[in-house]
């Protein structure tokens, strides 16, 4: 169960990270990088950041770049978001859009079969 504090901290981190991605990391070769959600651990020391990348050809390279810049991103977040602990950032791809597309395709195929 997620507490109100976890949701609030996740929201603040998502907002600041989104700004940083647009201003400093995202370029024409990386495509559109979107933070789909942020989940905080109960002790607020770890932030799991889920990303979706549209148009980028090298998705794994973008994830590696974010891992390399993790220290800088943590420092930037700490300067803007006042928290007791500066959370560890863990980046991964959000697979939800892929699942949604797959389900939509299956439903479409079922509808075609019924007609």
pLDDT value of position 56: 63
Domains of the chain: 4-114 (3.30.300.20)
Burial class of 29 by CB neighbour count within 10 A (0 to 12, 13 to 18, 19+)? exposed
- Rounded to two decimals, what is the model's pTM? 0.78
How much is the pLDDT for 46?
93
* CA 70 from centroid of its chain's CA atoms: 13
pLDDT averaged over every residue in the chain = 86
Please write the tens of the pLDDT for every residue from 6-50.
999 999 999 999 999 888 877 766 678 889 999 999 999 999 999
Residue 55 scores a pLDDT above 90 = no
pLDDT at 49: 95
Residue 24 corresponds to which tokens in the numbers above? Answer: 């400093």
């Amino acid at each position: 169960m997620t507490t109100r504090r976890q949701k609030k901290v996740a929201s603040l981190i998502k907002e600041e990270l989104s700004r940083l991605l647009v201003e400093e990391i995202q370029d024409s070769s990386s495509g559109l990088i979107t933070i789909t959600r942020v989940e905080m651990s109960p002790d607020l020391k770890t932030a799991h950041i889920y990303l979706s990348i549209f148009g980028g050809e090298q998705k794994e390279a973008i994830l590696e770049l974010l891992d390399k810049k993790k220290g800088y991103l943590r420092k930037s977040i700490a300067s803007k978001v006042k928290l007791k602990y500066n959370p560890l950032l863990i980046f991964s791809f959000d697979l939800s859009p892929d699942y949604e597309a797959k389900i939509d395709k299956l439903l479409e195929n079922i509808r075609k079969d019924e007609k």
